[in-house]
Amino acid sequence: MLSPLSNCAILLALFLFYNQTVFQIETQQPGKSGYNGRMTTSTSSDQNASLAQLPALLQQAVTAHQNGQLETAMPLYAEFLQQNPKHPTALQLSGLLHSQRGEYGRAIELMRESLQQMPQQAEVANNLGNALSLCDRLEEANESYLQAIKLYPDYADAWRNLGLCYLRQQSYDEAEKSFQRCLEIHPGDAAACLALGNVFKRQEDYDRAIHYLEKALTLRPDYAEAHHNLGVCLRMLRKPLEAIRHYERACQLGLDRGELYQNLGSAQVDAQDMNAAIQAYRLAIQRSPEDIISHRNLNKLLWEQELLDEHLQSYRDALTLNPASEALALAYGTALNQQEAYEDAEHVLMNALQHAPQSSELKSLLAYAYEGQREWEQALRMHADAVAGPDSTANHRVSYARALLACERPEEALIHAEEATRQTPFNQRAIAYLGLCWRMLGDEGDATINDYDNFIKIYELPLPERFSNIEEFKRQLATVLDSLHLGKRHPPEQTLRGGTQTHGDLFDRQEPEILELVDGLKQCIQDYIDKLPRNDAHPLLMRYSDRFNFSASWSVRLQRAGYHTMHVHPLGWISSAYYVQVPQEVSGSDTHGGGIKFGEADIDLGWRGWALRTIQPLPGRLVLFPSYMWHGTVPYESSEPRMTVAFDVVPVHDKTNAG
């Protein structure tokens, strides 16, 4: 058992440190997977009695500390410690004050000294763990929490904090055990239920996550963070309307963070309420001006809804607030390049380089802006600088190879394309440009990897059981897809021109026609894969697996003169085009265009870059091909739309990014 004085110190320390903040809860946000655990409130009716037992000078420091007068408390602690350098309570409370000020290094020193003077202080070991965790010294934090638990096995807060630390380390089994132990000690701990829900959410076990998040809300109905995270899980289970209700409840309860509004906006897109989504993304950016995801989502919607006066303004406003933000400059520069506003992109990126002169990413993007202005000498010089930079990646070499090919320097381009494929063997862009290098040099390697006769396959989709003929199925599927095309123009970042594209992952939807489409597609894909030869040196065949997943799926609706520019699919293995609706004059012959062409480069290589195979579309026809293979569409002439479904497939054993 701890001594009475130590118990008083526990109550006082927990009150001071725990009361400073609340749980910072995890959100579903690409690129941010951490869970930042902070403290819960702990108070005691014995605080006044505890305070009276302390020496007078320390009482003054503690009183000021409790009243939030940190600048008054600090010199009082310092004076007391000068007179009593080994006083454990003064050391730990001074450490807590430094933690409140964000001075974690000094806090850690003081708490460790307190423990050295009095090792049997579970509360100090726990708070030391908190300070270490806030410094991202997670292994040390684990040890400190375990020390607290060893001293006081039923220390629920230490078990919870240990679980949070394990969660940040992605040690999910250990995190689950820690939270379960916390709940055994304190079954009414809503924060532990919330954290346990997040353990399962991280592992995409959304049903179990929802169970614990709902339990947290049963214990604490006004728990805004639980509403937020429950919304995340419901959206992942394709229940956007339910998700929206929980997000809005979290807002009503006072949660006011950028990621909440970002998640709300994404759910509203799922629910096809684009105006509400635009407003939510704006609110996200107001709270987190460097939230690149919300910037992109907002400006994509503004473009597609033809709100062009507002398009890209969020980047300009955010850069005015933080002109040194490299992430903002990159996102804005990319958007300007996509709009072919190359001079504006050059200006933005040149300004950004003044703040980050070594950034290879900025230099590579600036080189592309120079390419758009046909300033090839400057473009090549900037590409060379990007490749030579300390943060250079394989994709910078790919972009350099592309520019060298455009300048008819295939020998030099080949060096960078080969190095890029060596660094990232499944990088589909690198493979595509490597093939172009070989083609320009007359190397048979291009024909080997781009075997247009054998690697492009045409299928007729099986008829779903509940339909009497394929025409009926295609009509109903077209009706479903048509309702999902809510934009007024093509997405700004896509190769599509003169048409619209659906939002989100199409195959996540639950309409019967889409589920039946997916079932039929799986049969065709499996046949394609089963017939692939084996070759561990070939960029398509080396990734062979008889199991696969869909990595992305969408629908495109082209209007008169619509088309796709030549492109590859960077994150795929096998890609596709399934024709749902095709105008009669297009499917009848190639006179009116509309076909899919393969092998033509996205840069002007003269006759060496011409298309090498073209397939005319027919309703119900599926075309499968390697994701690295150059493809695009011929503009077509018809008053009727041309609607397709496209998707990318990846082998399930392959966890490597495509680059």
This model's pTM is above 0.75: yes
CATH class of 308-444: mainly alpha
Checking if the pLDDT of 107 tops 90, the result is: yes
Per-position b or e across 511-530, b if 16+ CB within 10 A of its CB: bebbebbbebbeebbeebbe
Q: Which of 260-269, 362-371, 440-449, 562-571 has the lowest mean pLDDT?
A: 562-571
Do 1-152 and 308-444 share a fold? yes
* pLDDT given at position 587: 59
1-152 homologous superfamily: Tetratricopeptide repeat domain (1.25.40.10)
Closest CA to 193 of 169, 220, 165, 228: 220
CATH architecture of 457-651: Sandwich (2.60)
Residue 44 has pLDDT above 60, yes or no: no
- The per-residue pLDDT for 496 is 64
What is the spatial distance between Cα 275 and Cα 578, in angstroms, rounded to a whole number?
Answer: 30
**Average pLDDT of 126-149?**
96
For residue 544, is pLDDT > 90?
yes
Question: Can you tell me the mean pLDDT for 461-466?
Answer: 89
CA atoms within 13 A on the CB side of 227: 20
Would you state the pLDDT for residue 15?
41
* pLDDT at residue 22 in the model: 28
Strand, helix or coil for residue 548: strand
- pLDDT (average), residues 52-79: 91
Secondary structure (DSSP) of 76-109: HHHHHHHH-TT-HHHHHHHHHHHHHTT-HHHHHH
Q: What is the DSSP string of 30-58?
A: TTB------------TTHHHHHHTS-HHH
For the record, the structure tokens of 435 come out as: 């093939």
- Looking at every residue in the chain, the average pLDDT score rounds to 88
Sequence-distant contacts of 55-63: CB under 8 A, at least 24 apart: 55/80, 55/84, 57/83, 58/87, 58/89, 58/90, 58/93, 61/90, 61/93, 62/12, 62/93
Task: Calculate mean pLDDT across residues 362-367.
Answer: 97
Q: CA-CA distance, 592 to 348, in Å (whole number)? A: 42
Q: Provide DSSP, 589-625.
A: -STT---EEES--SS--GGGGS-SEEE---TTEEEEE
Q: Is the pLDDT of residue 94 over 80?
A: yes
pLDDT tens digit sequence for 415-433: 999 999 999 999 999 999 9
Whether residue 605 has pLDDT greater than 80:
yes
> With 60 as the cut, is the pLDDT of residue 282 above it?
yes
Q: Does 11 score more than 70 pLDDT?
A: no
Q: Which of 501, 497, 500 is nearest to 634 (CA)?
A: 497
Pull the structure tokens for residue 269: 């897109």
How far is 134 from 98, CA to CA, in rounded Å? 13
**pLDDT tens-digit series, residues 569-595:** 999 999 999 999 888 776 555 554 678
Which tokens is 600 given? 């033509």
Predicted local confidence at residue 658, as pLDDT: 43
So where are the chain's domains? 1-152, 308-444, 457-651
Q: Where are the alpha helices (DSSP H) in 375-489?
A: 376-388, 394-406, 410-423, 428-441, 445-449, 470-484
Strand partners, 578: 622, 645
pLDDT tops 80 at residue 442: yes
Instruction: Kindly report, residue by residue over 476-490, the tens digit of the pLDDT.
Output: 998 999 899 888 777
